Every structure is written in C-alpha cells, then in structure tokens.
Chain A
C-alpha cells in the first residue's frame, strides 16, 4: 500500500466524470422524468376535472329528467281528463240523440196509427155505406141479411 500520483490522477478523473455527468447525463434524464411527472399530474388533474364535470352533467341530467317526468305526468293527466271528458260528451250526446230518435219514432208511430185509424174509419164508413146500400138495393132475405152482416163483419 503505497500512496503515489495515482491518487491525484484519480481525483482528476473523478472530477472529469462528475463534470460529464453534471453537464451531459443528469439533466436530460431528470428533465424527461420531470416532464413525465408533470404530464401525469396534469392528466390526473384533467381526469379529476372531467370527473367533476361528469358529476355536474349527471346532476343536470337528473334535474332535466325529473322535470321532463313531471311534465309528462302532467300531460298524461291532462290527456286523461280530456279523454274522459270527450267520452262523457260523446255519451251524453249519444243519449240525447237516442232520445231524440226515440221521440221521433214514437211520434211517427203515433201519426201512422192515427192515420191508420182515420183510414180505417173512413173505410169502415164506406163499407157500412156500401153494405147498407147493398142491403137496401136488394131484397134481402134474413139469411142474406145475415150473410151480409157476416161478410161485413169479416171485412172489418
């Protein structure tokens, strides 16, 4: 173990290597690492922001959804009301109509009955007149008389 100029040479060599490392090796590696670190932290921050805005959007979406649901419920309610109203209207109208038709029909029937009665009256009187004439015109036996009467009765 003898100390000699190797010591000085090694000290100089070390200073040279340290200088090379300090100047050319260390900074580029460190800068890449720092750049990546920054990118990652930026990315995380962006992700957090996106998360937040997603949450916000979700909230807004839910609000909108609730509003839309309420609106649609209201609409359906209204529509239902309207529909039942229409049905009721239609029902009452139909009933009115039916009553009217019934009324008209019964009137017509009455009229026709009356007419028929009138006709019958007039025809009967005609027949009576006719028969009476025939009875009067012909000499009639009591048999014939009965016959005639029977005929008239059958015709009636």
Chain B
C-alpha cells in the first residue's frame, strides 16, 4: 500500500478483487495472501454488490406495487416503470418462447435483465469514487462492477445451465435428453463421436453466455480506467481530452450496458426454450 503509485499499480489496483479465502494458514481476507488462496475463496466485493443490487431490484419492484394497489386506477410513477419492465420481458418471452406454461421463465428473465442492468450500470460510476471511499475506511481493494468479474457472469450462466438441464430432463424426459446428446449428428453407430460433438455444443452455451457479458463489461471498465489514467498521469491538455473522452465513452457505454443485459436475458430465454423443445428429426 505504501508503494509508489504508478500506472501499473493503478491498473492492478483496479483489477484486484477484495478476496477472502482459504490459505494454508486458514481463512483470511489479507490482500497479500490472495496468491495462496485456492478455489475456496470469495470475491467479497463482487458478491456484496451483486447481492446489494439484487436486493435493490427486489425492493424496488415490491415497493412499486403495494399489495392493495387499485388495478383500475391508472398506474403512476414507479409503478409505470415496473409494469413497462414486465411488459418488455413478457413480450420477449412471448416472441422467443411462444405461449408457455412454464411460469418460471418470465420472472427469471425479468430478474436477469434488471439485475444485470443494475450491475452493469455500476460501470458508469466514475472508477475511483467507490474504491477511494472504501480505502478511506480501510478496505484496500474494492471492485465496483460485479459483471467485470468472470465469477459473477459465469456463476449466472451456471445457474441458467442448471435450469436448462433441469427443464431438459423434466420436460423432455431423461431418455429424450440423453438421446439428443448422443444420437446426433451421426446416428447410433457413432455414439461417442456424437456425444463429444454435442457436449461441446452444450457446454459452449453457458460459457459463451457468461464470457460475453464479462468480456464486454471488462473491456468497458478497462477503457474507463485507461481514460482515468489520462486524467491522473499526464499533462493538462491530455487530461482535458481525457475528460471529453470519458463523457463520450460513458454515453456510448450506456448502450452497451443495456444491450448486454438484454442479450443475456434473450439468450437465457432462448436456451430455456431449447430445453423445452422436443427434437424434430
């Protein structure tokens, strides 16, 4: 912490999570022992923001629609926003899924969309605001945007993957599901080859789902950090240019933020729709 602030250390600082994990000496949250932590460690900052923003989503949507709301009265304010979100999600589910009896898809899509949108939006908070605040209360590393953490995006992709498998088995039946993975594209005489090919296809979905979101947001965050470097480590003209660039990139990033949230939602719906489709061959 006492070391000199260089561009390298600045970037490193911004890319390091607040991590608590199991070291050979037991559980620790010491940033210096991150290297010794194995799989059993947690990015506390990512999880904090993820849970916090998820709670914001739940709270806002609960608060906007109180129990005794009058259905015949025109909706006002926040209620409008909430209903618009739901209508948006319903439309998307309808177009990708058709009329479905599965009552989980729409809430799942809504949660994914709003939650990821909120997490992505944290990217628009200037890169040093919250980390510096955290530093002032003694937390050295504090990453703000959960979706720039591959653990978060892949974790969500994993949840979607688990749901896909669950619905594949319950809707199609285990036999049909296994058949789908083993009997294409070469028929029953080449089952091992089929299985390898289909497995790649099957596993690529959640990985691409998670990495797409991560990659876009990570790149966006990276550019914000580099622009911030222009402000801190250069001459005044470059700093002013950096200020302009920051504005431009932030405006453009709003698009990416919303688009990536939408893509994640649309793909989630699409994958679950596939899990409901029985193969036609």
A16 CB to closest chain B CB, in angstroms? 8
Q: A21-B61, A22-B107 are in contact. Are A28 and B67 (CB under 8 A)?
A: yes
- Chain B 20-38, CB-CB to A under 8 Å as 1, else 0, gives 0100000000000000011
Cα-based distance from A25 to B51 in the complex (angstroms): 17
Complex Cα distance, B82 from A28, in Å, reads 12
Question: A6 and B151: CB pair below 8 A?
Answer: yes
Return the chain B residue nearest A4 by Cβ. B41
Q: Which of A1-54 contact B (CB under 8 A)?
A: 1, 3-15, 17-18, 20-22, 24-26, 28-30, 32-33, 35-36, 39
Contact A7 B107, CB 8 Å, known A24-B62, A32-B65: no
**Contact A17 to B151, CB < 8 A, known contacts A7-B158, A25-B61, A28-B65:** no
Establish whether residues B72 and A3, one from each chain, have CB atoms under 8 Å apart when the complex forms: no
Q: How far is the CA of A14 from the CA of B155 in the complex (A)?
A: 8
Contact residues in B for A29 (Cβ distance below 8 Å): 61, 64-65, 82-83, 86
- Is B131 in the interface zone, CB < 8 Å from A? no
CB <8 Å contact, B54 and A13: yes
From the candidates A1, A25, A26, A32, name the one contacting B150 in the complex (CB within 8 A): A1
- A5 touching B156, Cβ below 8 Å: no
Across-interface contacts of A11 in B (CB, < 8 A): 155-156, 158-159, 162
The verdict on B259 contacting chain A, using a C-beta distance below 8 Å, is no
Tell me the complex Cα distance, A29–B69, Å: 10
The residue that A3 contacts in the complex, of B71, B115, B150, with Cβ under 8 A, is B150
Interface residues on A, range: 20 to 34
| List of B residues within 8 angstroms of A24 by Cβ | 58, 62
Contact among B43, B90, B107, B156 for A4, CB-based, below 8 A: B43
How many A-B residue pairs have C-beta atoms within 8 angstroms? Tell me.
Answer: 127
Q: Are A9 and B61 in contact (CB under 8 A)?
A: no
- Name the one of A13, A15, A25, A39 contacting B72, with C-beta atoms under 8 angstroms: A39
Contact A7 B61 (CB under 8 A): no
Residues in B neighbouring A12, C-beta threshold 8 A: 159
Check A10–B47 contact: CB distance below 8 A.
Answer: yes
The reply to whether the CB of B46 lies closer than 8 angstroms to some CB of chain A is yes
Assess the A9–B47 pair: CB atoms within 8 A. Answer: yes
Q: Is the CB of B151 within 8 A of A18?
A: no
- The distance from the CB of B57 to the nearest CB of chain A, in whole angstroms, is 7
Q: Which of A5, A15, A28 contacts B40 (CB 8 A)?
A: A5
Q: Which residues of A contact B106 (CB under 8 A)?
A: 26, 30
Residues of A within 8 A of B58 (CB): 17, 20-21, 24-25
Cβ contact of A22, chosen from B43, B51, B83, B104, cutoff 8 A: B104
Please determine whether B86 and A33 come into contact, CB atoms closer than 8 angstroms.
Answer: yes
Residues of A within 8 A of B19 (CB): 4
With A25-B62, A33-B86 as known contacts, state yes or no: A10 contacts B71, CB within 8 Å.
no
In whole angstroms, what is the CA distance A22 to B163 when docked? 14
* Residue of A5, A10, A20, A28 touching B50 (CB-CB under 8 A): A10
- Which of A1, A22, A35 is the one whose CB lies under 8 Å from B103? A22
B62 touches A4 (CB 8 A): no
Check if A33 sits within 8 Å of B40, measured CB to CB: no
Collect the chain B residues with CB atoms within 8 Å of residue A35's CB.
Answer: 71-72
Q: What 7 new A-B contacts, CB under 8 Å, besides A6-B46, A15-B159, A39-B72?
A: A4-B38, A9-B47, A11-B158, A14-B112, A21-B108, A26-B106, A29-B61
- 9 A–B pairs (Cβ distance < 8 Å), ordered by A: A6-B47, A17-B111, A18-B108, A18-B112, A22-B104, A26-B86, A29-B65, A35-B72, A39-B72
